[in-house]
Amino acid sequence: MKNVKVLGPGCNRCTATAALLQGTADRLGVAVAIEKITDYAAIAGYGVVSTPGIVIDGKLVHAGGLPKSDDVARWLAA
Amino acid sequence: MTAHSLAAPPHVSPGNARLIGITLAALLAWLAVYWQLEPLSHWAVAALPLAPGSHLADAVGFFIFDTPKVLMLLALVVFAMGVVRSFFSPERTRAFLAGRREGIGNIAAATLGIFTPFCSCSAVPLFVGFVSAGVPLGVTFSFLIAAPLINEVALGLLFALVGWKVALTYLAFGMSVSILAGWIIGRLHLESWLEQWVRDVRGGATDLPPEQMTIADRILAGVEATREIFGRVWVWIIVGIAAGALIHGYVPAGMLAVVMGGGQWWSVPAAVLIGIPIYSNAAGIIPVVEALLGKGAALGTVLAFMMAVTALSAPEMVILRKVLTARLIGVFIATVTVGIIAVGYLFNALFT
């Protein structure tokens, strides 16, 4: 089970990012637990300046804007 | 994508080359259409049952000519800026600004504020991320003021519609206000006026791997920016052109020269006070600027009005209230207002 955190205050892009992660995980058959982090202090604690950010198993892999679907597949498969 | 193109190096893959080809073809098509705009709109205005030379004909002509022209220019400028912005990221900007001295830091922050992409929903994480990583408060403010004040789309539109002199003046004006206001806020040492939780955050630098972007990726970033910004901004532009058309057709030139000309000491503060409660997208205000300048309004007054409209907006203040105490927001608004008025006077004095 991969622990995935989406960092963002809840804007449209953050929701879209979470949906993209869930959809890709389902397609690849990877079990994920997606958690949305909306607290600004927690977001800043990861060093993220631009949202949405993505943290997978405690490691920051992306910050700012919708991620590319190829990248999402790569992070989830790793 | 085929296995073959996946195996090829990114810069020469067939998909890449095709995308570059399509982009060039699209740019040529854009130019061809743009050249035909003026005769087409003249023909359209002449075909309408309007008395030539009447107020209504002037206003409608301005609207019919400007709408396709501004929208086409907007698409091109946003695309180009999307490509340029793919070279910048807020994380890289922060790493560059952390620990900078004030002065140089304010100048660098104002410059990066023009090009670093960030949406207003990112304003709070950006602010907290900058301050917690050791970017001085005044330098952070220079960035935060420059980002909406010097809108790169507005800059491109001014360049194309009104000319390079006004565009450069706008750039110099915006830079001066951002640097000056940020520097003053830094000198006042107001760190204790941040909300408590902001002062408690300890954020580190990120160890994100650098993004590998091919030319095709950057072109796609430009297309994405066009789709997103164009979809959001076109309504503002239409409203702006309609307002510009009304000014162009109905406001007597003599009246504007008296009210917004360089001769009256009160015209700059009055323009700023009127501009603060009005909120428009920076791109939408350009047709209004074009019309006001055409009627003899003074450059400093018009730019002061434009900046008051774009820089100080209620939605942004509501977002910033999450990190700044009301007192600090008050200082922020006061400093930017005074800065805009001061630079407005300066430019009226320089350009008369």
Say how many CA atoms lie within 13 Å of B190 toward its Cβ.
25
Q: Across residues B173-189, what is the average pLDDT?
A: 90
Distance from CA of B207 to the nearest CA of A (A): 8
The H-or-E segment that residue A37 falls in is: strand A32-37
Residues of chain B with Cβ-Cβ distance to A45 below 8 Å are: 201-203
Which pLDDT score is estimated for B211? 66
**A4 sits in which H/E element:** strand A2-7
> For position A37, which CATH number holds?
3.40.30.10
pLDDT grade for B209, boundaries at 50, 70 and 90: low
pLDDT-derived band at B10 (thresholds 50, 70, 90) equals very low
Average pLDDT over residues B283-310: 86
Chain A residues within 8 A of B88 when measuring between CB atoms:
none
- Residue B5: per-residue pLDDT: 40
Task: Please give the C-alpha separations between residue B7 and each of B1, B90, B219, in angstroms, as whole numbers.
Answer: 10, 32, 21
Q: Is residue B227 part of a domain?
A: yes
Percent of chain B's residues with pLDDT above 90:
5
The verdict on residue B14 lying in a domain is no
B210: pLDDT strictly greater than 80:
no
A2-7 vs A53-56, strand pairing mode: antiparallel
- pTM of the entire structure? 0.77
> Is the model's pLDDT at A18 over the cut of 50?
yes
Sheet (strand A32-37) strand order: A32-37, A2-7, A53-56, A59-63
Domain around A11: 2-77
pLDDT at residue A8 greater than cutoff 50:
yes
Q: Residue B4: its pLDDT value, please?
A: 42
| Domain assignment of residue B226, yes or no | yes
Q: Is B43 exposed, middle or buried (0-12, 13-18, 19+ CB in 10 A)?
A: exposed
> Considering only CB atoms, which chain A residues are within 8 Å of B194?
none
With a cut of 70, say whether residue B204 has pLDDT above it: no
When pLDDT is averaged across residues B83-109 and rounded to a whole number, the result is 84
Between the alpha carbon of residue B165 and those of residues B29, B161, B170, B178, B266, the distances in Å are 28, 11, 9, 20, 25
Closest CB to A45 among B90, B201, B205? B201
C-alpha–C-alpha distance, residues B66 and B38, integer Å = 9
User: What does the pLDDT read at residue B6?
Assistant: 41
* Rounded Cα–Cα distance for residues B304 and B311 (Å): 10
Predicted local confidence at residue B206, as pLDDT: 64
Q: How far apart are CA B250 and CA B253, in angstroms?
A: 9
- pLDDT over 50 at B170, yes or no: yes
Chain B CB contacts of A64 under 8 Å are: 89-91, 117-118, 122
- Taking CB atoms and an 8 Å limit, are B90 and A64 in contact across chains? yes
CA distance A21 to B280: 35
Q: Is the peptide bond before B125 cis (omega within 30 degrees of 0)?
A: no
Q: B249-279: per-residue pLDDT in tens?
A: 888 777 777 777 767 788 899 888 888 887 7
Residue A30 near chain B (CB below 8 Å): no
pLDDT at B3 over 50: no
Average pLDDT of every residue of chain B:
82
Report yes or no: A74 at the B interface, CB cutoff 8 Å: no
Flag whether residue A17 sits within 8 Å of chain B, measured between CB atoms.
no
Interchain contact, B126 vs A45, CB within 8 Å? no
Residue-wise pLDDT for B217-255, tens only, equals: 888 888 888 888 888 888 888 888 888 888 888 887 777
Token couple for A8 = 């963002």
Q: How far is A1 from chain B (nearest CA, A)?
A: 23
* Predicted local distance difference test score (pLDDT) of residue B227: 86
Q: Which domain holds residue B144?
A: 20-201+217-350
The residue of chain A with its CA nearest to that of B197 is: A41
DSSP secondary structure letters along B91-119: HHHHHHHTTPPTTHHHHHHHHHHHHS---
Q: Which of B125, B207, B322 sits opposite A50 (nearest CB)?
A: B125
pLDDT, average across residues B308-323: 81
Q: From the CA of B202, how many Å to the nearest CA of chain A?
A: 6
Q: Read off the pLDDT band of B163 (50, 70, 90).
A: confident
Position B147 scores a pLDDT of 82
Using the CB atoms, write b or e for B280-319: b if 16+ within 10 Å. bbbbbbbbbbbbbbebebbbbbbbbbbbbbbbbbeebeeb
Is B208 within the bounds of a domain?
no
pLDDT at B7 over 50: no
pLDDT recorded at residue B28:
92
Closest chain A C-alpha to B128 CA, distance in angstroms? 6
In this predicted model, what pLDDT tens digit does every residue of A19-63 receive, in sequence order? 999 999 999 888 889 988 888 878 878 878 888 889 998 888 888
Does residue B243 fall inside a structural domain? yes
Measured CA to CA, the distance from residue B19 to residue B21 in angstroms comes to 5
Arithmetic mean of pLDDT, B76-82? 87
Tell me how far CA of residue B302 lies from CA of B3, B286, B335, in angstroms: 57, 10, 19
DSSP B277: T
Q: How many domains does chain A have?
A: 1
**A32 touching B (Cβ < 8 Å):** no
Q: Which of A13, A41, A49 sits opposite B94 (nearest CB)?
A: A49
- Give the number of domains in chain B: 1
For residue B42, give the 3-state DSSP assignment: helix
CA torsion angle A37 A40 A43 A49 (round to 10): 130
Using the predicted structure, report yes or no on whether residue B118 has a pLDDT greater than 80. no
With CB atoms and an 8 Å threshold, state whether A63 touches B132.
Answer: no
Q: Which residue of B has its CA nearest to A40?
A: B125
Task: Find the helix or strand (DSSP H, E) in which A54 lies.
Answer: strand A53-56
Question: Worst-scoring range by mean pLDDT, A67-76, B55-64, B200-209?
Answer: B200-209
Distance CA B253, CA B291 (A): 10
